[in-house]
Amino acid sequence: MAKRKNWIKKHPIWSIVLGVIILIFIISIFSGEKENAQENNNVENTFDTSTNGIDDSANNNEEKIGSLIISGEEEGVCYVNEINLWSEPKSASDGAYVIGKISSACPQKTVSYFEEGDFMSSTGRIWYKVESDGDKGWITDTYVVQKE
């Protein structure tokens, strides 16, 4: 024990570095447990892949509200020709995942929409539940040019 105290007195900077490394190691262990718990939660919430992850059992007869003209183009430049369809009206960091794509979004494309809302999520955007090429999912107002 006396040797350890002498080493700490002789090398104070290395003692601090060693302490920080140990602290980072401990924090990484606990943050890893949190991620594993979240992954286990996601595994428990399984979904039927035949419906692209959306449980439409109650909404099979959803009524179309209207159409949206969407575009991945801005000022004549095509930035996004395939727009992701999200499982829920929230960001990936909030737990949503991509379940399909709207292809050929440049210059414009018309899609049906079934639901609209200003959902509370980290995005702070208006979301639309749309259908394109048989896939149904959520997009943000970023791509909406016009509602019909």
Residue 51 within any structural domain of the chain? no
Q: What is the pLDDT of residue 55?
A: 46
Boundaries of domain holding 80: 64-147
Q: Are residues 27 and 97 in the same domain?
A: no
Per-residue pLDDT band at 98 (split at 50, 70, 90): very high
**Does 139 lie in the same domain as 95?**
yes
For the chain, what is the HEC assignment?
CHHHHHHHHHCHHHHHHHHHHHHHHHHHHHHHHHHHHHHHHHHHCCCCHHHCCCCCCCCCCCCCCEEEEECCEECCEECCCCEEEECCCCCHHHCCCEEEEECCCCCCEEEEEEEEECCCCCCCCCEEEEEECCEEEEEEHHHEEEEC
Verify that 114 and 72 share a domain, yes or no. yes
**Per-residue model confidence as pLDDT tens digits over 17-75:** 778 888 787 777 776 554 444 444 443 333 333 444 444 444 456 777 788 889 988 88
pLDDT at 1 over 70: no
Is residue 68 located within the same domain as residue 125?
Answer: yes
Can you give the pLDDT at residue 31?
A: 67
Question: Which domain CATH number covers 122?
Answer: 2.30.30
What is the pLDDT at residue 15? 73
Q: Residues 95, 143: one domain?
A: yes
Does this model's pTM top 0.85? My answer is: no
